[in-house]
Structure 1
C-alpha cells in the first residue's frame, strides 16, 4: 500500500511538471507576420493591411480555424447556356421563340480580393453563354470573364461586389509531402464543403498529350466532380493550390486528386490581369530526366536531375555558360529531380527574371545565373496548331533555311494526327522566318481567300495543303 502511494505521488508530480513546462513554452511563443502583396488590390485596398498573421502551426488534428477562413471565400460557379425554345414551326425561321437557360456544368471558385476577383478552372466555364457565381450566403451574381488560360486550365472572373471574404496565396514551394491540407469546394450550390488529407506528392506530371507540361500537387483529400476550381489550403488557411483533376476509372474520387500549385496560379492570374495572356519563361535548354542508365553511361553517382542535350543559341542559358551534358540539380533552392520539378518552378517565374542554376559538369558542382527568356508562341486558329520559332542549328537538321515549328496540336485542329515537330516553311507561297512573319501574312489575308500552307517533316518530305 505504501509503495502504491509513492507511485501515485511520482505520477502526480510528473503531470504538474509537464503542465508547467507546456505553459512556459506557450507563453514564450511569438507571433510571426507575413506580408503578402496582392497586385490587383493596389488601387482599391492597401495591401499592407492584409497580413497573414499566425502563431505556431495549429494542431494537425484541428482544422476548424482553417475551415472558418476558407468556406466563405469558396463559391459555386455555374456554366449557363442560352437557347431558344420554339413555340411554332416558324419560330426558328424568324429568329423568334422563347429564350431559355440551361446549366451545362458547374464547379467551384476561389475569391481572391474583397471586390470580387475569382479564380476557377477554365474547363468549368468553357463554352458558357453566362457564368453565374453563388456565394456561401446564397447570393448569386452574373460574373464577367476577365481572362482565360486553357493551357493551364485557369479562368479569372469578376463579380460586382464589395467586402467579400477572400483567401491569400501561400507559398506552394514550401509545401511538404505529408503536410495536412484541406480541400474546399462548393459543388452542390448549398454551402462550401471541406475534406481533409495530406500532400501525397509534389511536381506530378499527369502525362497529358497536349505537351503543355504542368507540375501538380497530389493529395488524398477527397475531391469529386463539382469541386474543380476550389481551394486547397494549408492548416493556416492559406491558398496553396487550385483543385483541378482526379484520377479515376469511375469518375469519382478514389484517393488521388491534383491541384495547380498556388505560385503557378498566382503568376497566371497576374499575367491575365496585366497582359491578357500568360507569358512563359524558359531557360533555353532541352533534355531529359536523368536516370540510372544515363548516369551509368556518364559515370556519375547521381540518378536524379535534368540532363541537358541541347542549349538554344542566343538564350539565357547559352550566355550563362550552360552546355550539353550538364546536369541541373537545383534552380534557386528548388531541388530538380525530374523535368516536372523544373517546369513547375519556371512556370511561376516571369521572363526577364534571373535564377541561380546549380549543375554538375564532369562530376564537379558549379553555379551560374541565368536570365530567363520568353517563350514565343502563336496560334494559327485556322489550322488549330501552335507554332514557335526554331534555331538556325535545328533548321539545318531539317535541311531548311526558314520556317516555324509546330509546337502543339490543338483540340480543334484540322488533323487528328500529332503533327507537332513539323515545320511550316511557307504560307501563301511566302517564306516564313518568324512568328511575326506568320502574323503578318495571316492578318493581310482576306478571310474569304484560301490559305496555302507548306509543311516540312524532319525526314525532308515537303507537302502543301490548301485550307478554305
Structure 2
C-alpha cells in the first residue's frame, strides 16, 4: 500500500461540561477545559470573583435572615453542603504545547521548527473525593486528558499533586489519587433510585471563580442521544452546569453522590448562558468504572457477538411488527455469547436489562456500559411472540494474531463510540498499535489505520471482524482508511 496521509484525529477533543468552552456535535459544549488564564465573565449578580468578599451564610444584602418563620425553621441546604463541599476539589491540568507563528500549517512548521516555542497550557475542572482513606478522586477523562501535570486544590486551599490511576474515554470517567491528612469524602448513592423530579445539587468550580453550588431537579434519566459522545446513560438536570464544572459532584439532599457533572448542551454556545440542560454520569456507572480502574488500570468491555439492523417501517411491516422499533439480529457470530444464549437471526431485540432498545445504536450503547461477564437479559420478539433470553457478555481478543497470524504484532480495538456517532456510523476496527518489524508492520499496517472491510465481507466491530476472517479465503485483502484516503492491504 502506498503511503497515505496521516490519519486525522478520530474524534475532536472530548469537549464536555468541564473543559474549554468548545462546541461539539450540535451544541454540546465543554465548559471546563478553560482557555489559557480565561477572564471570568459574570453574567449574574450572584457570581463572585475569586478573592472577593462573599456574603456570609444567612445574610442577603447585609441583612440577617430569620432562623424561623411563624415558628417553623427555615429550610436550608447549608448543613448538607457543609459535609459535601470539602470533598469537591478544583483540578488544574498543565501541559506543554508547541506554538508556531505559522499556526497549524504543516509545511512551514516543518521548514522552520526553530521558530516554534514551548509554553504551558492550563485547563481547569473539578473532581470529587470518594474515598478519603485511599485518596481516590473521580473526575472526567477530558479534564485530565493529555496532561503533563495535574494538581488538585482542596476546599481548604491546600494544593496537592495528583497521581493518575487510569481513565476511560468512552464513558469520560477518570480516577486520580492524592495523599493528605484530613480529607473528606462523599459517599456514592445508588443512582438507579433517582426519579425525574428529585432535587439535586451541583458543586464545582465554574469559570475558575471558586467553589460554587447550584441546585435543581432531575429532568430525565437514561439520556443516550447526545451527539459526539461515547457510551451514554446520562442524568439530565436543570441545575446550572457551566465551564469548569466538569468532574464536579451532583448530590442528592442527603449529601450522597448521584452523578459526576460532565456536559451542558447549548446550541448557541456559552454566550447564551445556562439554559438548564446539564448532564451527569450516574454514580453507579462511575463507580463501576472506578472499580475496574483500581483493579486493572483499564476498562474492558464485552460483547454479545451479533450484527443487528435498526427496525424501520419497511422492516417492521415485513416482520409483522406493530411499530418500527428495536434491533433485528442479522447475524449471530459462532462461539459468541449470543450464540450460547440461543439468540437467532431474525430475533428483534426491544429491551435489555429493562431498558428500551429502539435501534441498533441503543443496543450497542447498553452493551458498552457493561463490564465483561455481566449478565444481560434481552427482551425480544421471535416470530412475533415475546421472549426473554439472558446472555453473559464476553471479551474479544485485541492481539492481531488471534484473528490471523499475518496480523501478528498489531493491537486492535473497536472504534471509539464517539467516532461512530460523529462519522455517520462508520463501521470497522481500529489499529491501535503496530510493533516495528512485526508481520503486521511488514504487511503495511500502521497505528491509526481503520480496517473497513476484508475479503470475507464487512463488519461492525471486533467480533464481526473475527467472524469474517474465520470464513475468509487464504488470500485476504483488507480495505483500510488512513487519514482521508483509502487503500488496500494484502496480508502475506
TM-score range, shorter chain: 0.5 to 0.7
Structure 1 pair 406/273, CA: closer, same or farther in 2 (3 Å)? closer
Structure 1 pair 176/410, CA: closer, same or farther in 2 (3 Å)? closer
| Of 310, 324, 332, the match for 2:331 | 310
Please report how far the alpha carbon of residue 274 of structure 1 lies from its aligned counterpart in structure 2 after TM superposition.
0.9
Q: TM-score, normalised by structure 1?
A: 0.64
Residue 283 of structure 2 corresponds to residue 262 of structure 1: yes
Structure 1 pair 340/168, CA: closer, same or farther in 2 (3 Å)? farther
Structure 1 pair 275/404, CA: closer, same or farther in 2 (3 Å)? closer
Residue 374 of structure 2 corresponds to residue 367 of structure 1: no
Q: Which moved more, 1:332-341 or 1:363-372?
A: 332-341
Tell me, yes or no, if the aligned pair for 1:138 and 1:190 is still in contact at 8 Å: no
2:444 corresponding residue in structure 1: 452
- Secondary structure of the equivalent of 1:177? coil
Tell me, yes or no, if the aligned pair for 2:170 and 2:418 is still in contact at 8 Å: no
Equivalent-residue separation in structure 2 for 1:389 and 1:214 (angstroms): 30
TM-superposition CA deviations, 1:273-300 (whole Å, max 9, x none): 1111111122223324545554343222
- Secondary structure of the equivalent of 2:445? strand
1:442 corresponding residue in structure 2: 435
- Secondary structure of the equivalent of 2:206? coil
1:233 corresponding residue in structure 2: 251
Q: TM-score, normalised by structure 2?
A: 0.61
| Of 166, 170, 175, the match for 1:156 | 175
- Secondary structure of the equivalent of 1:104? strand
2:87 corresponding residue in structure 1: 73
1:301 corresponding residue in structure 2: 322
Structure number with higher relative contact order (C-alpha < 8 Å, ≥ 6 residues apart): 2
Structure 1 pair 225/245, CA: closer, same or farther in 2 (3 Å)? same
Question: Where does 1:123-162 land on structure 2 (aligned, <5 Å)?
Answer: 123-162=142-181
Please report how far the alpha carbon of residue 362 of structure 1 lies from its aligned counterpart in structure 2 after TM superposition.
2.1
Please report how far the alpha carbon of residue 164 of structure 1 lies from its aligned counterpart in structure 2 after TM superposition.
1.9
Equivalent-residue separation in structure 2 for 1:306 and 1:148 (angstroms): 30
Tell me, yes or no, if the aligned pair for 2:87 and 2:185 is still in contact at 8 Å: yes
| Of 196, 204, 223, the match for 2:223 | 204
How many residue pairs were aligned?
Answer: 357
RMSD: 4.2
| Of 296, 321, 328, the match for 2:342 | 321
1:13 corresponding residue in structure 2: none
- Secondary structure of the equivalent of 1:373? coil
- Secondary structure of the equivalent of 2:330? strand
Question: Where does 1:316-395 land on structure 2 (aligned, <5 Å)?
Answer: 316-337=337-358, 342-343=363-364, 345-377=366-398
Please report how far the alpha carbon of residue 353 of structure 1 lies from its aligned counterpart in structure 2 after TM superposition.
2.8
Stretches of structure 1 lacking an aligned partner (at least 5 in a row):
1-60, 85-99, 379-386, 392-402, 425-434
1:6 corresponding residue in structure 2: none
Structure 1 pair 407/351, CA: closer, same or farther in 2 (3 Å)? closer
Stretches of structure 2 lacking an aligned partner (at least 5 in a row):
1-74, 99-117, 405-409, 459-476, 480-486
Structure 1 pair 203/324, CA: closer, same or farther in 2 (3 Å)? farther
1:37 corresponding residue in structure 2: none
Equivalent-residue separation in structure 2 for 1:404 and 1:297 (angstroms): 41
Tell me, yes or no, if the aligned pair for 1:185 and 1:193 is still in contact at 8 Å: yes
- Secondary structure of the equivalent of 2:162? strand
Tell me, yes or no, if the aligned pair for 1:452 and 1:464 is still in contact at 8 Å: no
1:429 corresponding residue in structure 2: none
- Secondary structure of the equivalent of 1:182? strand
TM-superposition CA deviations, 1:4-60 (whole Å, max 9, x none): xxxxxxxxxxxxxxxxxxxxxxxxxxxxxxxxxxxxxxxxxxxxxxxxxxxxxxxxx
- Secondary structure of the equivalent of 1:244? strand
- Secondary structure of the equivalent of 2:155? coil
Question: Where does 1:5-16 land on structure 2 (aligned, <5 Å)?
Answer: none
**Larger Rg over CA atoms:** 1
Residue 239 of structure 2 corresponds to residue 221 of structure 1: yes
Please report how far the alpha carbon of residue 122 of structure 1 lies from its aligned counterpart in structure 2 after TM superposition.
1.8
Please report how far the alpha carbon of residue 302 of structure 1 lies from its aligned counterpart in structure 2 after TM superposition.
4.8
Please report how far the alpha carbon of residue 247 of structure 1 lies from its aligned counterpart in structure 2 after TM superposition.
1.5
| Of 170, 173, 176, the match for 2:189 | 170
Please report how far the alpha carbon of residue 171 of structure 1 lies from its aligned counterpart in structure 2 after TM superposition.
2.3
Tell me, yes or no, if the aligned pair for 2:128 and 2:186 is still in contact at 8 Å: yes
